[in-house]
Amino acid sequence: MSAETGPEDCLFCKIVSGDIDADVVHETATTVAFRDRNPQAPTHVLVIPRSHYANAADLAVGEPETAAHLFDAARAIAEQEGLGEGYRLVFNTGAAAHQTVFHAHMHVLGGRAMTWPPG
């Protein structure tokens, strides 16, 4: 999948529309959150806007309220997943930063101790 992928052939748009199954753990009018299929921590949830934006920067410009909703969804997910010890929010932005799906998404990672730098 390339950075030029549009909504019509976007994997995460298909999760929003229900055309592709996902283990959805949280939903709002503007966001959907589902478990990552290749989890990197005991809790690894992706929170995405319902609208298609290629990355978090484009989302922040196009729908700043929805960008804020991602953080509130992360707060709710951390609570429901029992991540009181702490959790990590990640936006890989651009291929060099390991973005592989070009529909904006926030990784919510928790349930284990984290290290730094992230690699």
Catalytic center residues: 105
Site map 44..83 versus ligand 5GP, x via CB under 6 A: --x-------------------------------------
| Binding to ligand 5GP in span 89-118, by CB under 6 A | 92, 98-101
Residue number with CB closer to ligand 5GP (21 or 84): 21
Q: Residue 106: which of 65, 61, 63, 71 has the closest Cα?
A: 71
Which are the contacts of 22, defined by CB distance < 8 A and separation ≥ 6? Answer: 15, 32, 34, 35
Per CB under 6 A, 36 contacts ligand 5GP: yes
Enumerate the β-bridge partners of residue 27: 32
Asked if 70 and 63 touch (Cβ cutoff 8 Å), the reply is no
SS3 category, 2: coil
| Binding to Zn ion in span 80-119, by CB under 5 A | 103
C-alpha atoms less than 13 angstroms from C-alpha of 104 in its C-beta half-sphere: 26
92 binds, among ligand 5GP, Zn ion, none (CB under 5 to 8 A by kind): ligand 5GP
Per CB under 6 A, 11 contacts ligand 5GP: yes
Residues in contact with ligand 5GP by CB under 6 A are 11, 22, 34-38, 46, 92, 98-101
